Structure 1
Amino acid sequence: MPVRTACPIAPSAAERVRLKKMAYGHKTEHRLRLRAQVVLHAARGRSNARIARETGLHLDTVCRWRGRFAEAGLPGLNDRRRCGRPASFTPLQAAEVKALACRLPAETGVPISRWSCPELVREAGRQGIATFVSASTVRRWLTEGAIKPWQHRSWIFLTDPDFRAQAALVLDLYARTWNGEPLGADEYVISADEKTSIQARCRCHPSLPPGRARAMRVNHTYRRGGAVAYLAAYDVHHARVFGRTEERTGIVPFMNLVTQVMNQEPYSSTKRVYWIVDNGITRSGTRMRQG
């Protein structure tokens, strides 16, 4: 039988850096780590059989990921889109059901003291939010959330008539879609906000570390260092946090945060980065849009 010739692999310097981060990063998924290792071994000129022995993978698996990298580069190491049943409900519908659960039943004219999942299903159908949703689906939506505001009465009510359209864009980005199309591997979503008036306090004496039979000792007295603002940006899909402190808030401190993030890889050389911010006065002016 003829032996299939291995595809030559010659990654660029930037690709080699990304491959090493994937192959040896502690937070990289196991499947992506193995694929990156296959490509790195292939870039050293090793045969597929040797790579299979050293990685413990099947020979066909090694050939597959070597060939995909040769064809498409780094994006070729991602899983291809599989055909399957499309999602029955949108993220916006799930959010609207959760918002309904946050309201008292009396506000919608339902004569009960608290919501149950079947009652939420009936009310969601009556309001046209989701017609064919089941009680088990609603229960799963409510269980998935780390924060469950429907367990308490909320006093914040929506007044923006464009909230539905704006929320749909944000929820789609959180679900890795934009204008009905899935985001690519070189597109990122950043959520940013700020916390003002954080008291900067300095202990008058350093804390003593705990010992074998002694708890950690922290001095009670402190000096006030004024108040600072903390600005943070969160990479939604890669769980990366960027932060900085500023003496005050405003468009200039916020643009400092944007510059800090966008000057780092992979954001500085990626195709597109979506920033999700609120409509605060420091981020809704002309200078923000021009920046």
Structure 2
Amino acid sequence: MGRPGPKLAPLNLTASERAELERWVRRRKSAQDLAARARVVLACDQVGEDGRPVPIGAVADEVRVSRDTVTRWRKRFLASRLEGLVDEPRPGRPRTVGDERVEEVVRRTLEEKPAGATHWSTRAMAQRTGLSQSTVSRIWRAFGLQPHRAETFKLSTDPFFVDKVHDVVGLYLNPPEKALVLCVDEKSQIQALDRAQPVLPMMPGVPERATHDYVRAGTTTLFAALNTATGEVIGSLHRRHRTVEFKKFLTRLDKGVPPGLDVHLICDNYITHKNETIRRWLLAHPRFHLHFTPTGSSWLNLVERWFAELTNKQIRRGAHKSVQALEKDIRAWINHWNDDPKPFVWTKTADEILERLASYCQRITDSGH
């Protein structure tokens, strides 16, 4: 048995000190270093079953910092209480902007909106607070604030979300034996666009240039099935994307897959994938099994990642005078891909996905909005 550690002096937090430390931990505008120190002190104030303060090692494991860090801030708090957790003065030019004004900038950025705009700019915040634009910019960088940026998200409302995530991810990580796992979807409304004027080629120091306006020549739809094991793609082009076209694509898959293999298809909840006509076709072809991604969760379907490759490398900067020319280029690109296919490797387990989603939902719930 190891020797017991040194006897630790109790912190004896007062009610006001505990309230202030908990406020530092919760407040979004608190510096992360200060919040971490507050967590250390709160953890050090705990008492074990023997009535003694919790050991340094246990606190370090709980807060996920080193033992030296716990020891340092425990001593600083015992010596100077709350003031000991604040950074000591450093040499250099004295600050010209106090903590109160910094807090005001951060608070307004997080909690308010400027008149006549959806988000703050450095100019608007400078006018509102009386600081310079460069000072506002430095404060935003220090706290990781970027009011000009906004990202999108979508949470699935599918009541069977958890079951479907486990089903689809299970096929990626543990595919069944003597079976193919194919990610299936259609990329609809692919437009054949021709530029209004000729594209100017790239030259040294000058990028390729194209007019912003274009001429529409029609649309086509690509049905694609991505083999998750090999990365190969089976594609079929149609002018429409109805049940009739999807059934034709299934028939093509049936002919292209060796008869001794089961076929597991991962697809979304589009109505053409699960109406009565498709159900009857599946009953006549029992080796085909459909697995649906949760509603609003197309990111679970790996073929969407392949569609992004097609868009970035062929469609977005292409110029096509007709639908036939567009379809010819798409077929050529699929053939080029299949000459050296590269599978997309899924790494996250279903539990990791659900845990991260739960953490994100918790942050939204605690945001106060």
Report the TM-score when normalising by structure 2. 0.32
Report the TM-score when normalising by structure 1. 0.39
Q: Which structure has the larger Rg?
A: 2
Larger proportion of helix: 2
RCO higher in structure (CA 8 A, sep ≥6): 2
